[in-house]
A and B are shown apart, each in its own frame.
Chain A
């Protein structure tokens, strides 16, 4: 059974840093990209970014709203994905979800990449 468990959320002051962790189990972690999605209170879903598997260089992509402040990394030996958040702003207050990026082939080389498993989320509150 695939499980994703986030940790590290909490209350932090504006301008400070916080690191979230996502511990995965039930699948071969290194084979999958991993993504983070957030949801501000009472609002919709916002894609934060993702990290590719080491097979594809382990490179990262980010939403414009967090680029330069947030960093996603992974430790395949521990099956953990991280979200390092620096220079936090009040508008970063949200529940942060860790997600597995699925790989679903539709032909010999093309594939879709939906977010097929989600953690329960961890709340980050940025406030003085």
Chain B
């Protein structure tokens, strides 16, 4: 199975900060990488698919980059509603493993 490793596991930041979360795959997944946001008690929400394509309705302050094994989710200017847990997921080879998650907290 492909392993997905996110870093950091947790992150403290302030409103207005620029933050980045990385996701590394144990083998190449080309651009078959998705990012999700989950708030407590809620279902996850798709932010980015295909490594860099913004899902409809998602604010443009979210962006994704990378291909192969290394990927990054960037939030250009944190808003209060962005404090949540973020997951990457590969959809290249079954099983479609998720990363362990990155919890973004208010500093």
Contacts from A to B (Cβ < 8 Å) = 35, 37, 44-47, 50, 61-64, 97, 102, 104, 106, 112-121
Residue in A closest to B55 when the chains form the complex, CB atoms:
A116
Indicate which residue in A64, A106, A115 contacts B46 across the interface (CB closer than 8 Å).
Answer: A115
Pair B34/A118 contact, Cβ less than 8 Å:
no
Are the C-beta atoms of A116 and B49 separated by less than 8 Å?
yes
Q: Are B97 and A47 neighbours in the complex by a CB distance under 8 Å? A: yes
Interface of A is mostly: strand
Contacting residues, chain B, for A44 (C-beta < 8 A): 87, 98-101
State whether A45 and B91 are in contact (beta carbons under 8 Å apart), knowing that A115-B34, A116-B46 are contacts in the complex: no
B68 located at the interface, meaning its Cβ lies under 8 Å from any Cβ of chain A in the complex: no
Chain B CB within 10 Å, residue with most, of A37, A63, A102, A115: A115
Q: Do A104 and B49 touch (CB < 8 A)?
A: yes
**Contact call A104/B43, Cβ cutoff below 8 A:** no
Chain A residues with Cβ below 8 Å from B97 are: 47
**Interface hits, B11-67 → A, CB 8 Å:** 31-32, 34, 36, 38, 43-46, 49-50, 53, 55
Distance A24 CA – B34 CA, assembled complex (angstroms): 22
* Residue B80 lies at the interface, judged by CB distance under 8 Å to chain A: no
Apart from A50-B96, A115-B89, 16 more pairs, CB < 8 Å? A45-B36, A46-B98, A47-B89, A47-B98, A62-B95, A64-B95, A97-B43, A102-B46, A104-B49, A106-B31, A112-B49, A115-B34, A115-B46, A116-B49, A118-B44, A118-B45
